[in-house]
Amino acid sequence: MKTRNAKPETAAQWLPHLFIRPIIRQHFRLFALAQVCLALSSAMPTTSNGSQAPSGNPTAESDMTPPADGKWLPTGNLHTARDIHTATLLPNGLVLVAGGLNSRSVESRSAELYDPATGTWTATGSLNEGRFYYPATLLPNGKVLVEGGDGLSGERASAELYDPATGTWTLTGSLNVARQLHSATLLPDGEVLVAGGFDSNNLITGSVELYDPATGVWTLGNSLRVARFTHTATLLRNGKVLVAGGFGGSGTLASSELYDPTTGTWTDTGSLNTPRVTYTATMLRDGKVLVAGGINSDETISTTELYDPRSGTWTTTGSLNTARYAHTATLLRNGMVLLAGGLGLQGTTSSAELYDPVSRSWTATGDLNTARSQHTATLLPNGVVLVAGGLENSFTGLRSAELFKQR
C-alpha cells in the first residue's frame, strides 16, 4: 500500500486533522491519508440492472408501521457498513447510498438502494472508483452526479453519473482540479457549482468549477475570495449560493461569501459570530439559513446562528442542548430541524434534538438506538427521516439504519 507523506507547513494546517481524521479511524495519520485496495464486491445474486438481493431482514413492524412521533425505529441493515458516504433521495422514492469507507477502512465502490415500502436495502451498480469525502448531487434529469473525493491514489478528479433506470454508474468529464472535502451545489440553471476543498498538492484550494450536464464538461470559474474546505454551501431563494465557515490558511473561518450565477462572481457577506468547521447548514422555510454545532479549533460548539439573506448578517439563536460535530441536520415537513448523532464532549452521541424556528429554541427528542457520527440523514417522501451507517464510539463502521418521525 502506498501512502503520501507530505506534511502541512504551518501549525494552522495541522488543526483540522486533529479533529477530522480521528472521526474516521484511529489508525489514520495526519495527512498520511489511507491508501488501500478497493473493496471487493460481495458475491450475491444479481438482477438484470446489476442490483443484488435485498438485505436487512427488517421486522414486520418496520415493514408496515412508521415510527411513533419523536421515536427512532430500526429498519433494514445496509449490505456494507460504511461512513463518510453519500445518500440521495431519487425521484422514484428510493434512497441511493454510495461509497464511503467500509468497516475495514477501505474506500468502497459499492452502492445500494433503500426502499421505504419494504424497509430493505438492495445492492445496485458499483462506482467506477471508490471514494469518500465527496458530495452527491441529484440532477434535473434524475441522474446523480458524484465527483472528486479521496481514494487509493489520493484526491480524485474523476466524476461519474448514476442512472436509476439502469442501476449503473458511467464516467463523465473529470474535474480540472482534483479535490476532496469540497462543496457541490445545484444551480437554478441546472449546472453544478463545485467550490473549494483540499487538492492533490496538499493545499487548501479556492478554485471553483461548473459542471454542464448537457456536455459533461467542467469549466473553471472565478475563485472563492477565501480558500477553504469542510465549509457549507447553501442555495438561497434569490439564486445565489452562500458559502460559510470551514477551514482556511488562517485556521477555522468565520467569513462567508456569496456566489452570483448571473455574474459568476463572489462577494463578501456577513461573518459568522463563531468560526466553525464540520457543522451543518439548513435553509428554513422563511429563507434564512440555520447553522448548528461544529468545532472552533479544539472546542466543540453548542451555539447556532441564523443568516438573513435580506440583511446579509448572522444572528445567534438558541443553543444546542448537546454540543456536537459530525452530525446531521434535516428540515422536516413541519418546518422544524432535526439534529441527530455526531461527536460530543463524551464521544459519539445518540442524542437528537429539534429546532423550532418560531420559538428559536432547541428541544431534546428521542435518542437514536445506536450512537453514530459521520452518518447520513434523508427525508423520505412520507416525512420520515432515514439515518444510515456512520461510526460508533469505537470508530467501527455501522450497517444499521433507523427511522424517525415527527408531526
Q: Is residue 9 part of a domain?
A: yes
**The cell 446523480 sits on which residue?**
144
Q: Is residue 13 part of a domain?
A: yes
Q: Give me the pLDDT at residue 12, please.
A: 38
Give the number of other Cβ atoms within 10 Å of residue 92's Cβ: 11
Q: Is residue 48 part of a domain?
A: no
Residue 5, domain extent: 1-35
**pLDDT average, residue stretch 246-269:** 97
**pLDDT average, residue stretch 297-311:** 95
Q: Is residue 31 part of a domain?
A: yes
Cell of 97: 447510498
Helix (H) or strand (E) holding 172: strand 168-172
Residue 206 makes CB contacts below 8 A (sequence gap 6+) with 196, 223, 224, 225, 226, 227, 228
Q: Is residue 56 part of a domain?
A: no
Question: Cα dihedral sign for 171, 174, 180, 182?
Answer: negative
Q: Is residue 169 part of a domain?
A: no
Q: Is residue 353 part of a domain?
A: no
Q: Give me the pLDDT at residue 297, please.
A: 80
Q: Give me the pLDDT at residue 233, please.
A: 98
Q: Is residue 5 part of a domain?
A: yes
**Residue 365 pLDDT greater than 50, yes or no:** yes
**Residue 40 pLDDT greater than 70, yes or no:** no
Task: Give which of 238, 226, 237, 239 is closest to 272, Cα–Cα.
Answer: 226
pLDDT tens, position by position, 131-176? 999 999 999 999 999 999 999 889 999 999 999 999 999 999 999 9
When pLDDT is cut at 50, 70 and 90, the band that residue 211 belongs to is very high
Q: Give me the pLDDT at residue 65, please.
A: 67
**Residue 18 pLDDT greater than 60, yes or no:** no
pLDDT tens, position by position, 278-294? 999 999 999 999 999 99
**Residue 117 pLDDT greater than 50, yes or no:** yes
**Mean per-residue pLDDT over the chain, rounded:** 86
**Residue 343 pLDDT greater than 90, yes or no:** yes
- With contact defined as beta carbons under 8 Å apart, do 351 and 372 qualify? no
Compute φ and ψ for 21, nearest 5 degrees.
Answer: -65, -45
**pLDDT average, residue stretch 342-369:** 96
Compute φ and ψ for 349, nearest 5 degrees.
Answer: -115, 150
Q: Total structural domains in the chain? A: 1
Q: Give me the pLDDT at residue 103, please.
A: 81
